[in-house]
Every structure is written in C-alpha cells, then in structure tokens.
Amino acid sequence: MALSLAAASCVDRNLPAVQYPELDTTNPLLAEWRTPHATPPFSAIRLEHFEPAVDAAIACARAELDAIVNNPDKPTFGNTILALERHGQLLARIEGIFYNLMEADASEEMEQIAQRLQPKLTELSNDISLNPVLFARVEAVYEHPGLGLSAPEKKLLEDTYRSFTRNGAALSDEEKALYRTYSNDLSALTLRFGRNALAATNAFTLHITDPKQVAELPDFVKEGMAAEARARALQGWVVTLQAPSYVPFLTYSSNRALKEQLWRAYNSRALGGESDNTETVRGIVNTRLRIANLLGYDTYADYVLERRMAENRETVLGFLDELLAATKEYADADYRKVNDYAATLGFEGALMPWDWAYYSEKYKEAEYALNDEAVKPYFKLENVRKGAFLLANKLYGLNFTPNPAIEVYHPEVTAYDVTDEKGRFMAVLYLDFHPRASKRAGAWMTEFRSSKIENGVETRPLVSLVMNFSKPTDTKPSLLTFDEVETFLHEFGHALHGMLGEGEFASQTGTSVYRDFVELPSQLMENWATEKEFLDLWAVHYETGEPMPAELVERIVAAKNYLAAYANVRQLSFGLTDMAWHTIEQPFEGDIAAFERQAMAEAQVLPVVEGTAMSPAFTHIFSGGYAAGYYGYKWAEVLEADAFSLFKEKGIFNREVSGSFRENILSKGGSEHPMTLYVRFRGHKPSTKALIDKMQLGGE
C-alpha cells in the first residue's frame, strides 16, 4: 500500500457531505505538513497556536458529527460506525502534540492553556456520547449489523456501542446532565492532580555544601549532584526528587539524617503544602464513584474492569491475594536477610525505608560482588540504545536510522526512521532521555500519531519514548544503572508494540489494547537484560571498549532474582491501594494516609512511617489512566513469564517465536480479545505458576 505523507485533514471523503468551516492555514497546526513522514513541524508551532487550532478542530469535528446525525440514509456500518471512527482527525492530531508536550516539555503557560482547553474537549466528548440521535444510529447498527463484517469491524462495532453506553448514552435527560457535570469535574481534577504532583516533585531540593557529606559517594553520583548544583547556580551539590538524583543518593550515602529528610520529602509529595493533592484525591475517587453509580455499577472498579482481561474485581482481588499469599513470607525473609546483614555492619534496630536502598545494595555487593559502580561503565547510554536497536533487528528485522531532517520538540531529542528488513517504512521513533524541570517524572511511551489504513492509504505511527535517565557530566557520558537498562527495554517494548501495529482502524492499532494487556510487550523485553547472549553483543566498557567480563555478566544473571519477593510484594501493595480506592461504595471523606496504610497493611514489609503517603503523587491511578488497573503490571508479568519461557526453550533470538509474537500480539493491537490473541501465540492460557517459578523463591 502507498504511504500517506499528507497530514490528517479536516475533511474525510468517506463522510456524507459536510459543511466544513474555513481553516486558518497560517496556523501550522491547521496546515498540511510537507515534512518527512508528515511529522510535526515543531519549530513553527508556538503556544499561541494551540487554542485557536483546537477551536477550529472542534468546529470541524462538530460538522462531521452533524453530517452523521443528519444523514437521511439508513444507519449502516459505513455511514455511522466507520464515520465515527474517522471523524475528528484534525483534533486528534493537535491533541497528540499538545498533551504529549505537556508531559515532556511543559511550561506554566501550557498549564494555563490546558485548563482552558479541558472544558471544551470534555463538552465535545459529552456531546457525542450523550447525543440521543447519534446513539440511536449506533444502536440500530449494533442490533442489525448486517453480513460480511470482518473480525476487526465486528470488534469496532462492539467497542463503539460499548463506548456510548459506558459514557452515558442510555441515561435519562436528568441523568445525562449529571453525567456532564461529573465528567467535567473529573477532567479538571485529574489535570490539577498531575500539575500538583509535578510541582511538588520540583519544589524540593537537598543542597549540600559540606564536602564530608559527599566524600563517600561514587564519582558518578557526586558529579551528577555537582552538575545539578551548577545548573541552579549554586555551590556544592544538589539532590532532587527526580529518580536519577534521588535513588543514587539513598543507595550510596550512609548519612541517615539526610536520607530520612530526602525520603520523607519524596514520600510526602503533595501531601499538604502549596501543591496539596489530598482534597484532589478525595474529589477524584468520589467523582469516579458518582459516575459509576450513575451508570449502574456499585464501584468504579466494576465499571473499569468490565472492559479488561480480568473482567471483574473479584478476579483482580483474587489474583492479587494469590500472589501475595505465595510470596509474602519470602518478602519478609528478604527484609530480615538484609536487616541481619546490616547488623553485621554495626546497624542497630530495624531498617527504616530510607536505610533500605543502602543496605540492600551493600548486601548485593557482598553476596554477588555486584553494584551499580561495577556495571555502569558497561552501560553507556549510547551502547544501551545500540543494544535495544540490535535486539529489535534480531527479533523483528527492524533498522533505525537517525533522520536530522525530522524536527524535534527539544534539542535533547533524536528522531529515527524505522524500517523493516525489506526497507518498508514502519515508524518514526523519537528518543528523549534526560530529566528537566519541564518533564514529569518517570518513563513512558507515547504516540504523536498511530497507524491506520484509510481509502487504501496507510499511515504509519510516530512513536516517542520519554525517560529520565542519568545525565552526562563534565567528565563522563551518561552511564546507566542496571535498573535504567531494564526501564529502557521496558519502554522500548511499548515502542515496538506501537511501531509494529498493523490494521485499518487507529483505535485498534498498536498499544490501543486493554490496559491489563498493554504491559505484556514491555515487560517481556526486560527479560533480555539478564541474558548473557544478548549482553555479549554490545555491553562494552565506555573507556576501553573491552566487552563486559563473563564473570560480571554471570553475577548480573545470578543476582537477577535478588529481593524478587520483596519487589513483587511492593508492586502488589500498589495494586491493592489502587483497588481499595476504586472499590469504595460510599463517598470518602477520611484521612488519605490512614486509608492507604490500611489498604497496604497485608503487603507491608518495611516499617510504616507516619506523615507520609504515596497516593497524593500516585499519578498512575489519579491522572495517568491506570485507575483500577495498576494490578495490570503484575497481570502482565504472569503473561510475560509464560511467554518468555518459550523464547528460553527455543532460543532468545528465535525468529519463529518472535515472528509468532509479532503476528499474534504486536501487530494485532486491539482488533481481537487479548486472551484470544495470547492463546493463539502461546497455545494455552497463562497461570501465576510461571511468574512464581521465575522468582525462584527460597533459592539464591
């Protein structure tokens, strides 16, 4: 098929006659992009372009919707379901730029624009789902779909109908008015939550001027702290609450007082203060409950899980309980093991959370002769990137070529053309590696554009990976920790899901899958981080070029399940907290920290610290799309443990296995039910046994 190099336009010729508004094409967001692969012309886009562009795109979308609603012809899949799938393309293009930049390169002015745009976008969404004539047309097709629909078309019909019913289409007029109010409130609350969490993260710094307090730290930690201080025009050393700064200090400093101060700051972000999120959390969970009740569900989790692999809260809670029962005693043993080791070094009493990283690292170094300082020289960022690209080539035949003609949104970003072994253009990949004040914490994959086929013309995706990895210093390049290497592979797995997506409908391609299925490709990729056969191909010392010694690779492999039970239970505690918030059946007006402690109690391993709580900064569930879905990380671990066992059996670069994974999982997106796809790849349904076996509980 031909590749579309034209930008998404206001006009879709498949729609009935539409009376489109005139567009101001001097606004680059409304113009056709004559750029490589129709990539966004970032240098031409200014903040003042967004609001008028969104207003114009909303007008386009409304004109398209009016044409569907007023079509005198009998409702069909083509003139109703397909028309809805294809409407609003211009708006989607603009939103894809604005909200991705909001995450990766935000400013206070962008935040203000977002607050003004949010009510307009929510109103449009409600005007679609609550339009009785439009719903009647959708319902008519759903009840009499006709013959000859393909499997993806049947899935699109089902998804479209469910989207309407789950967004209030079947409510009475009075109930629809309430739904509009609640959905507007929820949009504003989640936006406020994310803004406050970022502000709270950026608000705290630990400024050290005494050289004695940093003397023991590895050079890479000190250099990073010194660079952070210089960037702020300060003398000495600075630690922030960004992971590449916060985690190394906790890991290598023996100064308990400073670590306690830092840990408490991190774990009380947005819990009070100028960026307080406690009322926002109450507002979000109570508004979600109101929406769920209005739609006929007892809890918000019941509403969410209806469209997940797990299907209901009983399954999720049973799943979490099963894993907790199988691993909690081993997690407690992990804690005692490190605590006992700390005692041999003169530590008295019980390890507190701010002690954990330091002594668990000491134990790992003593037991496995392994620490970050030993492995980081072999994990130069450029080499890790080379390794990820090499893996994609071995598994899927992909090639990555930097394309300086593609504009990027920040000087630190690099854009690549991605092609397959036959030279077919598959995607553009943007890589954005380092922390900055304008970027939210964490690591994520996103898309400026997804793939689709329309009128016989294929559009390929524009995929972006955004991370917060250790920055280069004056004397050293960016050298990654092993955890950061795993993070890179994880997000790269999401990118592969997006880049290898195939199909006609944008709403079904790539990562447009059930939330508890989306982490399978990403978590699967992490497995290669401890495979010697993979590391041997690219992990070389950044100064000498010498390959990583075999015995160091062996130590990495030996240590891969170090504290696996503890890490598992920690993740379960987050899932339990998420489910607790979203299974409330009455409005919550209580204490945020107390509620969270009770939710986590069964999975608590480290001592509880008063005055802290993760919920006010738990962006995954309160502003990041994982509400009643955080369990999905563990759910996907079960899937990936079972899936990777096939690679282990056949060979970690086996093209038959990777080809099947590409064909049955990566390329299919959300075109079929995920369990159907998984069984087609693996030959059976997964069970928790694969994950529990992988952790090798009780063994070294």
Hey, which residues are catalytic here? 491
Measure the CA–CA gap between 226 and 328, rounded to whole angstroms: 40
Sign of CA dihedral 610, 616, 622, 624: negative
The dihedral over CA atoms of 221, 383, 362, 600, expressed in degrees to the nearest 10, equals 90
Question: How far is residue 332 from each of residues 325, 566, 570, 661, measured CA to CA in Å?
Answer: 12, 7, 11, 36
Amino acid at 332: D
Alpha helices in 397-509 (DSSP H): 482-499
Q: Token pair 């004559």 is at which residue?
A: 34
Could you give phi then psi for residue 401, rounded to 5 degrees? Answer: -125, 120
Question: How far is residue 65 from each of residues 72, 96, 126, 414, measured CA to CA in Å?
Answer: 14, 20, 13, 38
Measure the CA–CA gap between 286 and 87, rounded to whole angstroms: 32
Could you give phi then psi for residue 448, rounded to 5 degrees? Answer: -85, -20
457-459 and 2-3 as β-strands: parallel, antiparallel, unpaired? parallel
Question: How far is residue 83 from each of residues 71, 89, 124, 235, measured CA to CA in Å?
Answer: 11, 11, 16, 60
Is 555 in contact with 368 (CB distance < 8 Å)? Answer: yes
Phi-psi region at 13: left, alpha or beta (left = phi > 0; alpha = psi -120 to 50): alpha
Grouping H, G, I as helix, E, B as strand and the rest as coil, residue 648 is helix
Count CB neighbours of 18 within 10 A.
18
Helix (H) or strand (E) segment spanning residue 313: helix 313-344
Count CB neighbours of 90 within 10 A.
27
**Helix 243-252 / helix 219-231 crossing angle, nearest 10 deg:** 140
Alpha helices in 397-439 (DSSP H): none
C-alpha closest to that of 92 among 368, 459, 469, 490: 459
Looking at the DSSP bridge assignments, the partners of residue 427 are 418
Is 175 in contact with 156 (CB distance < 8 Å)? Answer: no
Could you give phi then psi for residue 73, rounded to 5 degrees? Answer: -75, 155
- The structure tokens listed for 440 are 């939210």
Is 168 in contact with 179 (CB distance < 8 Å)? Answer: yes
Contacts of 586 (CB under 8 A, 6+ apart): 289
DSSP 43: G
Phi-psi region at 434: left, alpha or beta (left = phi > 0; alpha = psi -120 to 50): beta
Measure the CA–CA gap between 2 and 460, rounded to whole angstroms: 11
C-alpha closest to that of 690 among 635, 623, 650: 635
Measure the CA–CA gap between 178 and 173, rounded to whole angstroms: 9
**Helix 89-104 / helix 47-69 crossing angle, nearest 10 deg:** 150
Grouping H, G, I as helix, E, B as strand and the rest as coil, residue 235 is coil
Grouping H, G, I as helix, E, B as strand and the rest as coil, residue 326 is helix
Angle at 211 between CA 207 and CA 213, to 5 degrees: 70
Q: What's the chain's Rg over C-alpha atoms?
A: 25
Contacts of 329 (CB under 8 A, 6+ apart): none
The dihedral over CA atoms of 668, 673, 676, 682, expressed in degrees to the nearest 10, equals 60
Residues in the chain: 700
